[in-house]
């Protein structure tokens, strides 16, 4: 996330994310935790990997004192690091660690997106209208169909929202900078 976008979003009371990818989720989660904001994250998946069509999605709700998106397993730090560090991505690809096709489009179906967006809207109304306590994580399964509300706790050793994080530091902490890890050894 560029510095101008960071400055504009830091004043938001609620951020709604409908992003594809782990690195934008990392950025929005960091912003919400650092500025004690609310972040409603959405995602959808259509897959046939197990031989059964999976048409599902999620709505994760980060609140100022609740678990962050990392605690909710809402993004993979390893995947985020690859997007944030092109050098690391290239090194992993050259070493044969990346065999997937990251630029391959993922199917999106309007009815699935609408179902997930409706659940996200409900969570947004919970935040601004105090209807009931926001649910940390809701699974949307249109194959069954079902909605499953999941409970989650903040992990005490979470690097994103734990005691050693930037939680609640607002402008006292700098905008996050990704420091690339060492590239994998060449084979």
The predicted model gives 160-176 an average pLDDT of 88
pLDDT of residue 107: 57
pLDDT of residue 175: 75
DSSP state of 33: H
- Which helix (DSSP H) or strand (DSSP E) does residue 110 occupy? helix 110-129
> What are the angstrom distances between the C-alpha of 133 and each of 38, 66, 97, 122, 151?
12, 11, 42, 11, 12
* Helix %, strand %, coil % of the chain (to 5): 30, 20, 50
Express each pLDDT in 50-98 by its tens digit.
Answer: 788 888 899 999 999 999 998 887 676 666 656 656 665 566 556 555 4
pLDDT of residue 124: 93
Rounded distance, CA 65 to CA 127, Å? Answer: 13
Q: Which domains does the chain have, with CATH numbers?
A: 3-172 (3.40.50.720)
The predicted model scores a pTM of: 0.78
CB 65 within 8 A of CB 158: no
pLDDT of residue 94: 62
pLDDT band at 186 (very low <50, low <70, confident <90, very high): low
At residue 131, does pLDDT exceed 70? yes
SS3 55: strand
């Amino acid at each position: 996330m560029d510095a101008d976008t960071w400055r504009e979003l830091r004043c938001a009371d609620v951020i709604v994310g409908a992003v594809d990818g782990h690195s934008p989720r990392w950025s929005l989660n960091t912003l919400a935790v650092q500025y004690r904001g609310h972040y409603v994250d959405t995602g959808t998946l259509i897959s046939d990997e197990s031989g059964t069509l999976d048409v599902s999605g999620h709505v994760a709700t980060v609140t100022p004192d609740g678990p962050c998106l990392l605690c909710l397993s809402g993004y993979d730090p390893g995947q985020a690091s690859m997007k944030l560090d092109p050098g690391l991505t290239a090194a992993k690809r050259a070493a044969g660690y990346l065999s997937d096709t990251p630029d391959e489009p993922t199917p999106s179906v309007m009815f699935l997106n609408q179902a997930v967006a409706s659940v996200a809207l409900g969570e947004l109304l919970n935040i601004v209208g105090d209807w009931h306590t926001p649910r940390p994580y809701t699974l949307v399964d249109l194959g069954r169909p079902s909605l499953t509300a999941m409970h989650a706790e903040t992990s005490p050793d979470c690097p994103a929202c734990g005691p050693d994080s930037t939680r609640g530091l607002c402008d006292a902490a700098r905008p996050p900078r990704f420091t690339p890890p060492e590239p994998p050894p060449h084979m």
